[in-house]
Amino acid sequence: MPEDELEDLPGVGPATADKLVDNGFESYQSIAVASPGEMSNTADIGESSASDIINAAREAADVGGFETGAAVLERREEIGKLSWQIDEVDDLLGGGIETQSITEVYGEFGSGKSQVTHQMAVNVQLSKENGGLEGGCIFVDSEDTFRPERIDDMVRGLDDEILADEMERREIEGTPSDDAAMEELIEAFLDQIHVAKAFNSNHQILLAEKAKELAGEHEETEWPIRIVCVDSLTAHFRAEYVGRGELAERQQKLNKHLHDLMRLGDLYNTAILVTNQVASNPDSYFGDPTQAIGGNILGHASTFRIYLRKSKGNKRIVRLVDAPNLADGEAVMRVEGEGLKPE
C-alpha cells in the first residue's frame, strides 16, 4: 500500500507514515492487528496516538468485528493445502500443511525434521494441480541445517510428470532426462528459496520481522511467499535461557516470536512450518517419554503438532498429536536420498 494512503488515518502525517512503513506497518490490516504498546515501542509513536491510529485502521479495514459462520467458511476457502506428496500423510493432515496456520514438527535428533522443511521448500513451488501452492519459501536457519544440495536431490526425486510440468511452467526447454534442463530447473527452484541464518534468538526474532517485509514485497509477484520454515524454532532460546530463573523471560520472547509468525501467516496467506527439539520426561513410566520443549505457549500457538519418530531403517512414523479439526493418528513415510517417499 502506498505511504500516502496511511496519511488518510487520523493523526498520521508524512513523518508518522514514514515511521510506520519503516517498521513494517505498511497497510491498514497490518496496523489493525497491532497492539498500541507494540506500535508505540517499535515505531516510536505515543501509545495514545497509536491506539487512535489502530482503531481507525480497524474500522477502515473492517477488522475486529464479528462475522457469521458462513462468512468464516467462505474465508477459509482461501486457505491452501501443501501436499507432502505422500498420500498417507496428506490423508492424516486433511490434505497437507495449511496456510494461515503454524504447523510444528518435533522429534529427536535424526528423526527427519529438517528433511521435512527441505521437502516443503520444494513442494510449495509446484503447481496447485500437483499439490503445491505456486509460491516461494522463506527459510530461517538457526542450526545450520539448510543444504542446497539437498534441494537438488529432492527436485531430482520428483515424479517425471511433475518435473515435465514444472519445466513447461517455468519455460525451460528440454525434458527431465536432459541434464542441462534439469540443472536449470534446480537453479530455478533454489532461486525461490530465501535463506537467512539466525545467529541468536534476538536475530531470529528480527528475521521474522524481515520475513514479513519480504512476503509483502512478493505478494503481488508471480512467486508470492507461501511457506516460512523455521528450523529450529527453539534451539537458540533453549541454549540462551538456561535454568528456571530465566524461564519466564524465555517464554515471553518465544511468545512474541510466535505471534510475529502467526501474523505473517494471516496477512499473506502463508504456511508457517517450525521444527522443535525434544526432551525426555523422567516422570514418564509408561509410553514414549519424549516431549516437545517450548511449554504451553508453543503448544497453544501451534495449530497442528506432528511428532516424528524413528522406525526401522529409513522409515519414520508421522504422528498427528494435535489439530483443531482432525483426529489423532499415524502414517508411515521413508526418508531417502531423493526426499520423503511413501512407505
Going by the annotation, the residues of the binding site for ATP are 107-114
| Neighbouring residues of 14: CB distance < 8 A, sequence distance ≥ 6 | 3, 7
Peptide bond into 311 cis (omega under 30): no
Dihedral sign computed on CA atoms, order 257, 92, 83, 86: positive
Cα dihedral 281/285/287/292 (nearest 10): -10
123 contacts 82 by C-beta, under 8 angstroms: yes
Q: Checking phi first, is residue 111 left (phi over 0); if not, alpha (psi -120 to 50) or beta? A: alpha
Tell me the binding residues.
107-114
d(CA 51, CA 56): 9
Sheet holding 225-231, edge to edge: 193-197, 136-141, 225-231, 271-276, 102-106, 304-310, 315-322, 329-336, 339-342
At CA 98, angle to CA 69 and CA 206, rounded to 5?
110
- Cell 537467512 sits on residue: 196
**SS3 state at 330:** strand
Strands 278-280 and 136-141 turn out to be: unpaired
